[in-house]
Amino acid sequence: MTYPTNPIYKLVKDVTLSAIEGKDVINQVKIKPTSNSEKIIPFHEANTDYQEYLEWVAEGNTADPAD
């Protein structure tokens, strides 16, 4: 597939698990498919959006850091 070049993916913190574990847990990533929509993708191996994200990372790209 053709990935957008900019903006790209942005990592998202799981605030619940981060609070429970006392450290930042990054387990999702955000992308804006259109100007007025947003997709938040969990790091789950069977999720096909996550599989596309991993392909994008494998091509040498890096997501923006989480807030």
Partner 1 sequence: MSTLKVNAIRGTGASSDAISVNSTDGTCTANLTNPRSFRNLIINGGMQVAQRGSSSTSDGVHTVDRFAMGYGGENEAPTQAQHDLTSSDTGPWEKGFRNSFHITNGNQTGGAGAGDYAQIIYKIEAQDLANSGWNYTSTSSYITLSFWVKSSVAQTYYVRLNAEDASKAYSFAISVTTSWQKITKSIPGNSNLVVNEDNGCGLALYFIPFYGTNFTTSGHTNDSWITDSGSDQVTDMTSTWWTTNDATFEVTGVQLEVGDTATEFEHRLYGDELQRCKRYFQMYANSNGKYTGITAVYYTSTHIECMIRYEPEMRATPSLIQGSGSNYYGVYRDGNRDDFDSFSGLNASDHRGGSLYNNTAVNAVSGQVGAVILNSSSAYISFSAEI
Cβ contacts of residue 30 below 8 Å, gap of 6+?
Answer: 9, 10, 11, 12, 38, 39, 40, 41
Element (H, E) at 53: helix 48-58
Quote the least distance from Cβ 61 to partner 1, whole Å.
Answer: 19
Quote the least distance from Cβ 62 to partner 1, whole Å.
Answer: 19
Residues 7-66 close enough to bind partner 1 by CB under 8 A = 12-17, 28, 30, 32-33, 36-42, 44, 46-50
3, β-bridge pairs = none
Residues engaged in binding partner 1 (CB under 8 A): 2, 12-17, 28, 30, 32-33, 36-42, 44, 46-50
